Chain A
Amino acid sequence: MEAISISPHIKRKANGKISIKTGNKSERVMKWTISTLTLLTIMAFLFFNYDGLDLAKAIPETAYNLKVMFLEPGLSHFTWGAAFYQVGITLGLAFLSTILGAVIAFFLALMAATNLSNKWISKTVRIFVAIVRAVPTVLWVLIFAIAAGLGSEAAILGMLFHSIAYLVKAFSEAFEEVDKGIMEALKATGASWWHIVTHAVVPSTFTYLLSWTFLRFEINFSVAVAMGAAAGAGGIGFELFMASGFYFDMREVGLITYMILLLAIILELMSTRLKNRYFPATAK
């Protein structure tokens, strides 16, 4: 026992008790970050400009607006048919950018996965993708709007760009999880790189690829709503923007919000169903 308690491997706290935390840098950084952020939040509330804010009036007015919006929804500026058509456009934007993005991301992810590619190609693709991902989708849409003009083309290109970057990261991480032994076994039979990709890597990761793609579709749907307004890409987002910012029609805003909510729920249910039906193994 004597020999153990003076071992140089044991870390001790200031009071001499044995520490079981690794005490490394990342732990300390995390602690500092959280305390700093908490402090900043509290300070922010103290420094807000509260002039002209009359809480006694503001709260009931907001409550009234919300009441009209969500308890008395209705259409006045366009028909049900048009509303569904606009929802269709938004879904179309999301669908196109997701599917195209997934296909392109698949090939880029093969280049980015360290176990399938060489070091330099992998690094290059990773850095490129990280930069693309760091810029928000809206900015990409606006950047593409310079060339394509504001509208659905710019929206799709921008969403596509960001989807690719997002999916390359997700896909390549899935590829890297593939058992090295499986790939070694196929390589040892004389199989080529493409054989290994199509018959070992893809079957092993297919459920992940599909889940990530569907998740991205859900994200792209909400982005497409926002882009409809911000980039004039049309669709239900644009109608929402018109209803709230142009006509100040609370009832229409309420109805459109309900439609979007309903669709989001349907998408969520579909993705769960899809996973349970075809991939019971991953649903566990």
Chain B
Amino acid sequence: MSLVRVENLGKSYNAQTKVLKDVSFNVEAGEFVSIIGPSGAGKSTLLRCINRMVEIDEGNVVFDGQDVGSLNKKELRKMRTNIGMIFQHYNLVPRLSVIENVLHGRFGYKTTLEGILGKFTEDEKEQAFYLLKKLGIEDHAYKRCDQLSGGQQQRVGIARALIQDPKIVLCDEPIASLDPNASKVIMDYLKSITMELNITCIVNLHQVEIARDYSDRIIGLSKGGIVFDGSSYKLTTDSTDLIYGTTTPKVQKRQLVTV
């Protein structure tokens, strides 16, 4: 059975525009899938429908056998512990230390009071240090997050997702704010999450080359619809043209003139 089943998913934020239209695909456990598409295509929205950070309007998302759309508040919290999420802007609490930010990933398992008081077990703390070590930032554990470089902050973000002990990690443009070197480091870590820990990864990207290099499978999204879904080696120039819309130099020039 697939880990994630997306069936005829539709989503709109307002009456005029449909951000997602009739999107269907399955993701198997252990897959590394990239979603590519121009900005505004609906990639972030699609990712957020999987852990229901945005409400699902039409169709279904089934995660690990559970219909995500029909969960109540408590069940939803419990389900989210199984889904890690990584963001373009890292989204760490800048004034707190690295280790505190990593432990935030355990809140889903805590009662309200335990969480408020910040009660974490020794096991959890050891696990946090273990992850930081694996990610090569153990020596920064007690630094404030805003003192770290972008690449280092993203690694804290990965640690926060992994300490959740997730079945899947959703990554929304994880390398869009990073330089090529740091990007490679982060992509390598994400790839190893899938290879070594067998955790499924869905990664939103806008760099086609990187998507091709790292993923087993690519989903191409354009204007809220899937226009490509297949192994990364099947992604031809024609299909990227379809995803991004034809961009020949001639058309670009004419656009410049009309501006």
Contact = CB atoms under 8 A, between A and B. Distances in A.
B115 A194 contact: yes
B18 interface: no
Interface residues of A, number: 21
A119 interface: no
Contact of B91 (A181, A192, A194): A181
A191 B115 CA distance: 8
Contact of A203 (B78, B96, B164): B96
B93 A189 contact: no
A66 interface: no
B89 A192 contact: no
A187 B104 CA distance: 10
Contacts of A200: 93, 104
A5 interface: no
Contacts of B134: none
A206 B93 CA distance: 13
Contacts of B95: 203-204, 206, 281
B160 interface: yes
Interface in A195-212: 195, 198-200, 203-204, 206
A182 B87 CA distance: 10
Interface in B177-210: none
Nearest to A187: B53
Nearest to B76: A190
Nearest to B146: A281
Given A185-B87, A199-B118, A192 B112 contact: yes
B91 A185 contact: yes
B144 to A, nearest CB: 9
Interface string A121-147: 000000000000000000000000000
B109 interface: yes
B87 A181 contact: yes
Interface string B74-89: 0001111101110101
B115 A192 contact: yes
Given A182-B91, A192-B107, 14 more contacts: A181-B89, A184-B91, A185-B104, A186-B104, A187-B53, A188-B80, A189-B105, A189-B106, A189-B164, A190-B107, A192-B77, A198-B118, A199-B115, A204-B94
Interface of B: 51, 53, 77-81, 83-85, 87, 89, 91-96, 100, 104-110, 112, 115-116, 118, 157, 160-161, 164
24 contacts: A179-B91, A182-B92, A182-B93, A185-B85, A185-B87, A185-B92, A189-B85, A189-B104, A189-B105, A189-B108, A189-B160, A189-B161, A190-B107, A190-B108, A192-B115, A194-B112, A194-B115, A195-B110, A195-B115, A199-B100, A199-B104, A203-B93, A203-B96, A204-B95
In the A-B complex, the 9 residue pairs with the smallest Cβ-Cβ separation, listed nearest first, are A190-B108, A191-B107, A185-B91, A190-B80, A181-B91, A195-B115, A188-B85, A190-B81, A195-B107
